[in-house]
Amino acid sequence: MPRIGVYICHCGENIAGAVNIEAVREYAGTLPGVAVAKDYLFMCSDPGQELIRQDIKDGLVDRVVVAACTPRTHEPIFRKAVEDGGLNKYLFEMANIRDQDSWAHWNEKDGATEKAKRLIASAVAKAGLLEPLQDRFVEVTKSALVIGAGVSGMFAALDLANMGYKVHLVEKEPSVGGNMAKLDKTFPTNDCSACILTPVMVQVGTHPNIELLTYAEVASVEGSIGNFKVDVVKKQTYIDWDKCTGCGDCVNACPAKAPNEFNEGMDNRKAVYIQFPQAVPKKAVLDLDHCINCGKRSIGTQPRTHSVTGEPILAPCEKACKTGACDRSVAYDPAGERVTLQVGTIIAAAGFKAMDKAPFKEYSPQSPNVITSMQLERILSATGPTEGEFKRPSDGKKPATVAFISCVGSRDKSHHSYCSKVCCMYMLKEARLIKEKYPATNVYLFYIDVRTAGKDFEEYYNYCRDLGIKVIRGRAGAVDELAGDRLRVRAYDVDMCAPVELESDLVVLATAIEPAPGLPEMGRKLGINCGGEGFLKELHTKLYPVETSVKGIYVAGCAQGPKDIPESVSQARAASSSAAVPLTLGKVVVEPFSSAVDREKCSGCGICVPLCPYSAISREEVDGKLRARIDEALCAGCGVCAAACPSLAITLHGFTEAQIQAQINALTIGAGGGKVV
Amino acid sequence: MKVGFFVGCNTAFNRPDLEQAVRFALPALGVELDDLEGQSCCPTWGTLPSIDLVGWCALGARNFALAEEKGLDMVTVCGSCYGSLAESKHKMLHDPELKAGVNAMLKEIGREFKGTSNIRQAVNFLYKEAGPEKIGAALRYRLDGLTVAVQPGCHSLWPSEVYVDPEEDSFHPAVLREMCAALGASAPYYSRLTDCCGMGGMRSTDMERSFKLVLTKLASIKEEIDPDLIVTGCSSCLIQLDTAQAFLQKDRLIDYEIPVLHYMQLLALCLGADPQQITGLAKTNVSRVVNRIRGDENE
């Protein structure tokens, strides 16, 4: 008969405020196998842990249940206490009566108390059947994968590379740089984005420890911390990058046009293009969707011969190419190339997308003079469609009046409930750049709240106001088109308590930061949860801000939520230090929750083999019969095989059939019969 | 096709000429009207909807029940009726508790709200069910050469999720413009097209503000497109735009008058209805534009 000790935590008022601790403790003492039932104000404090250690040392208990908060943060602490007391640390079970009970049912105290009883009964039932388990260690592959080569991904990759680890840096665009490469200047110091970013891009491109995989996307991720197997698809460029020098001759020769994504669709690029002037790697990409196959030179066909000269008829791009990188005779595979990477840890830094103007019908998105802030960044940038000249799209005239509208898509229940955090500052920055360069321009900002928390930010705001930028507190409700390509902004001025109208030559919408397209799908591939708004979720907001629910996978930058450049870089560097820990240790502890096959019961049917997401199961012949075999090093303990086995031949240690059945019984039929919330 | 005609108080008591227009135009296009004997107030904004959610919905539900019993949709020319009925139905369908409360009240009079009938706004209804082409082909008189300013009416635009025939983009309404074009008129954009006419609660509580809104609207119409006629999709907008101009002239705030008709009046006119029957109560002088549309036939 096991001697189970039950320790109930008040968690200050967090649990005791909703759960009648004394009633629960009394009830726990009556459960079968329970030798000791105690409660304490903070079980995780040293005196709290000492209760457990002492009872074990005194021989009172040989199994431990702590009813407290979440195992996510506290299980390791209590396991350590159990081990220090002299027991195997897996002879421990936790009942979460805070997150799943007192917090959730704060206003239903009786029900919360009943639920606490059942959760504890369930944990006790399992505890009685616990078996001692031993930790395993696996060797770590000393390399890392960073997904996304914006400013976050590049810094994460550089830090790891500088520590001496091999880093694979995957970027879906042809060049590294991300959204930051599109910006003109950056707050709060107004340094030119390209000036501070280009050296970083060059470092990333030339670092001996960084393998750049641009124009590539992660296809699948298998394995677990220490040993991830990642399939990456390098999209087809239709240009031989080994030969391409980035001279741009093919680009100049190409007659086909396509909307220029880098300039936010405000001008055209060629079908064969180099993403932007500072691109790293500076290589051309052929966009087959917009290629017009000059001279009937579709990819993978032999050139026709000129009837008079007998020369092969080539397309302008290949004719212009001096190195043979552009050769349309090559039968390129449209699917691109699949490469498999072995890495120990992964950092997801997949960035963000600034919202488009189309969903904001109230702001006349059909007008070319209503633009997004990202479009204005490109207009202000020397590499943009106007080469840095402040011109409005409809007729190229310099606007005399500009109106900015804040919180477009942010803090708006029709779009995103969150604050995008950077808009107030980038709006002020753009307004300031315009006002400083063209002081005669009337610049207005319509806002709900100006949020300029951050080092040197409030000073920046005050400076902008002193420059004469007019800041109007009130949400803009409409933008109407007027004659002469002008626009009328209508808002409610909260300070004047009156509707106000402003005629303007250009309207800039400070659109929200939202998850990059495909981010939730990437999250699924990585096994990381996305929050309600679609950003990748960190393990713990405060304590584990770069870790995720998957060990060995970390997040950085705007993929985790809106943030500015200083914050993105800080988080990236934090993520790289965290991701380096397993690489430095060289081995990681794997919890012993792996599956094992009982060969006596196994019928060799093989149902489990294809189900295993980690390819850990194979079949081998034992005494002339096929039997399943589980590779413990690969098994991640997901339990799919155990659930599927028709012969009940597979046991998932730590979650055995008997243990789970006992938990369910205790939850459903064992408890006192009071109404549970 | 048969529909219940939800007349609405404003139309029945203030503009029976508009009611006559509906009774002429819809049957002329093959839509049979049922009088929904016993219909009551919708009830309109500023009355029960402001003070009693269940009471509002119950009154609306009773009107719906009349149509449901006959298996008909309801058609109205009034934005307030349209908005109030559509919103109350939406609320009842999305709040089972509210619906149950309403049905408990209706049980006392032996009725039940199921949610099977729709309330539809006449212009959007015709746009969907007849279509501009069929309407264009049925006309006796056309509006070629005429410029009109359209006023769809707020309650036919927002909240768009409660309507069965919503605009594709409520911020840039197209239905009324297309329906005027079907009659041959040019119905250009003007920048205050979606502005409120100032009717509704405001006209009865704050005349000055109400007239400020209508003045802003009229100025935009006059300056930007200088039309021959204003065409509304809503009986309240009709009343406001038609009656306010005399006050504004008296206060020397405008020195012009633009005749105002509801779309159903204009449609009936083009289909050959007697102008006196269907426009007789207009305060603005519509006879000139009416004569122009009909040629010299009735002069």
**Average pLDDT across chain A, whole number:** 94
Residues of chain A in contact with residue B191, where contact means CB-CB under 8 angstroms, are: 480-482, 488
CA-nearest residue to B168 within chain A is: A361
Going by pLDDT thresholds of 50, 70 and 90, the confidence category of residue A637 is confident
Q: Where in chain A is the domain with CATH 3.30.70.20?
A: 595-652
Chain B's closest residue to A486, CA to CA, is B191
Distance from CA of B191 to the nearest CA of A (A): 6
Mean pLDDT, rounded, for A244-252: 97
Rounded alpha-carbon distances, angstroms, from residue A565 to A139, A508, A530, B226: 35, 21, 22, 52
B299 CA: distance to closest CA in chain A (Å): 39
Q: Which residues of A touch B198 (CB under 8 A)?
A: none
Q: How confident is the model at residue A589 (pLDDT cuts 50, 70, 90)?
A: confident
- Domains B2-121 and B139-294 in one fold: no
B-chain residue closest to A483, CA distance: B224
What pLDDT is attached to residue A677?
61
What CATH number should be reported for the domain whose range is A595-652? 3.30.70.20
Whole-number Å distance between alpha carbons of A574 and A568 = 10
| Dihedral Cα A71, A74, A75, A79, nearest 10 deg | -160
Is B217:B211 a contact under the CB 8 Å cutoff? Answer: no
Domain A4-134 CATH (choose: 3.40.50, 3.30.70, 1.10.10, 1.10.287): 3.40.50
Condensed to tens digits (0 to 9), the pLDDT of residues A376-399 reads 999 999 999 999 999 999 999 999
Q: Within A64-150, where are the H helices? A: 71-85, 109-127
Cβ–Cβ pairs < 8 A, chains A and B: 16
C-alpha span between A469 and A461 (Å, rounded): 10
> Tens of pLDDT along A486-509?
999 999 999 999 999 999 999 999
Q: CB distance B169–A361 less than 8 Å? A: yes
Dihedral (Cα; A648, A651, A655, A656), 10-degree rounding? 60
pLDDT tens figures, A520-530: 999 999 999 89
CATH 3.50.30.10 holds for B2-121: no
- Which of B160, B169, B191 to probe by mutation at the A interface, max A CB count within 10 Å? B191
Nearest CA in chain B to A480: B191
- Between CA A399 and CA A332 the distance in angstroms is 48
The interface residues of chain A toward chain B in range 131-170, judged by CB-CB distance below 8 A, are none
Residue A295 has pLDDT above 90, yes or no: no
Q: Do B191 and A480 touch (CB under 8 A)?
A: yes
The answer to whether A362 faces chain B, any CB pair under 8 Å, is: yes
Closest residue by Cα to residue A297 from A243, A341, A253, A342: A253
What distance in Å separates residue B224's CA from the closest CA in chain A?
8
Calpha distance B93→B106 (Å, rounded):
16
The rounded percent of chain A whose pLDDT value lies above 70 is 99
Q: What is the pLDDT of residue B295?
A: 86
With cut-offs at 50, 70 and 90, classify the pLDDT of residue A86.
very high
A488 with B191: Cβ contact below 8 A: yes
Kindly list the distances between the CA atom of residue A498 and the CA atoms of A266, A405, A473, A495, in Å, as whole numbers in the listed order.
Answer: 36, 18, 11, 8
**Cross-chain residue pair A481–B192, CB shorter than 8 Å:** no
- For residue range A211-222, list pLDDT tens digits in order: 999 999 999 998
Min distance B31 CA to chain A CA atoms (Å): 34
Average pLDDT, rounded, for chain B: 95
Residue A672: how many CB atoms within 10 A of its CB?
Answer: 12
Distance (Å, whole) CA B266 – CA B231: 8
Q: What's the pTM value of the predicted model, to 2 decimals?
A: 0.85
According to CATH, where is 3.50.50.60 located in chain A? 143-234+341-348+516-587, 353-514
To the nearest 10 degrees (0 to 180), the angle between helices A565-585 and A151-162 is 30
Considering only CB atoms, A362 lies closest to which of B171, B191, B192, namely: B171
Mutate which of A414, A480, A497 to disrupt the B interface (most B C-beta within 10 Å)?
A480
- Please list every residue in chain A whose beta carbon sits closer than 8 Å to the beta carbon of residue B160: none
- For residue A670, pLDDT beyond 60: no
- Please give the Cα distance from B198 to B200 (Å, whole number): 7
Q: How many Å separate Cα A308 from the centre of its chain?
A: 59
Q: How far is CA A377 from CA A260, A262, A384, A422, in A?
A: 14, 11, 8, 14
Q: With 70 as the cut, is the pLDDT of residue A58 above it?
A: yes
CATH for A353-514, options being 3.40.50.720, 3.40.1190.20, 3.50.50.60, 3.30.210.10: 3.50.50.60
Question: Residue A676: pLDDT above 80?
Answer: no
Cβ contact (<8 Å) for A480 and B171? no
Determine the CATH number of domain A236-333: 3.30.70
pLDDT, residue B299, reads 45
Domain ranges of chain B: 2-121, 139-294
- Residues of B at the A interface (Cβ-Cβ below 8 Å)? 169-172, 189, 191-192, 194, 224
Mark yes or no for CB contact A361/B170 under 8 Å.
yes
Grade residue B297 by pLDDT with cuts at 50, 70 and 90: low
Name the residue of chain A whose CA is nearest to B172's CA.
A361
The pLDDT tens digits of the residues spanning A312-361 come to: 999 999 999 999 999 999 999 999 999 999 999 999 999 999 999 999 99
Q: Taking 90 as the threshold, does the pLDDT of residue A444 lie above it?
A: yes
Q: Which residues fall within 8 angstroms of residue B254, CB to CB, at 6 or more apart?
A: B215, B218, B219, B222, B245, B248
Cβ pair A482:B171 closer than 8 A = no
Sequence-distant (≥ 6) Cβ neighbours of residue A90 within 8 angstroms: A79, A130, A131, A132, A133, A592, A654
Confidence of residue A631 (pLDDT cuts 50, 70, 90): confident
Length of chain B: 299
Q: Which of these CATH numbers, 3.30.70.1350, 3.40.50.11310, 3.30.365.10, 3.40.50.11810, describes B139-294?
A: 3.40.50.11810
Q: Which residues of A touch B192 (CB under 8 A)?
A: 480
* A483 in contact with B, Cβ within 8 Å: yes
The average pLDDT across B69-96 equals: 97
- Does domain A143-234+341-348+516-587 correspond to CATH entry 3.40.50.620? no
Q: In chain A, pLDDT over 90 holds for what percent of residues?
A: 90
- B191, closest residue in chain A (CA to CA): A480
For A503, which residue in chain B has the nearest alpha carbon? B191
Distance from CA of A674 to the nearest CA of B (A): 28
Segment A547-585, tens digit of pLDDT: 998 999 999 999 999 999 999 999 999 999 999 999 999
Is the per-residue pLDDT at A617 higher than 60? yes
Min Cα–Cα distance to chain A from B171, Å: 6
Q: What is the pLDDT of residues B277-290, one digit of tens each?
A: 999 999 999 999 99
Set of chain A residues whose Cβ sits within 8 Å of the Cβ of B170: 361
Residue B289 identity: V
Distance from CA of A362 to the nearest CA of B (A): 6
pLDDT exceeds cutoff 90 at A671 = no
Instruction: Sort out which chain B residues have CB atoms less than 8 A from A482's CB and list them.
Output: 191
| Mean pLDDT value of segment B17-43 | 97
Is residue A364's pLDDT more than 90?
yes
In B, which residues are within 8 Å of A362 by CB distance? 171
For residues B267 and A671, which has the higher predicted lDDT (pLDDT)? B267
Give mean pLDDT, residues B35-48. Answer: 93
Q: Nearest CB to A481: which of B170, B191, B194?
A: B191
Q: A481 and B224 in contact by Cβ < 8 A?
A: no
pLDDT of residue A129: 95
Give how far the C-alpha of residue B295 lies from the chain's centroid of Cα atoms, to the nearest Å: 27
Mean pLDDT of B38-66: 95
Cβ contact (<8 Å) for B169 and A480? no
Give the residue with greater pLDDT, A532 vs A232: A232
Contact at CB, B191 and A482, closer than 8 angstroms: yes
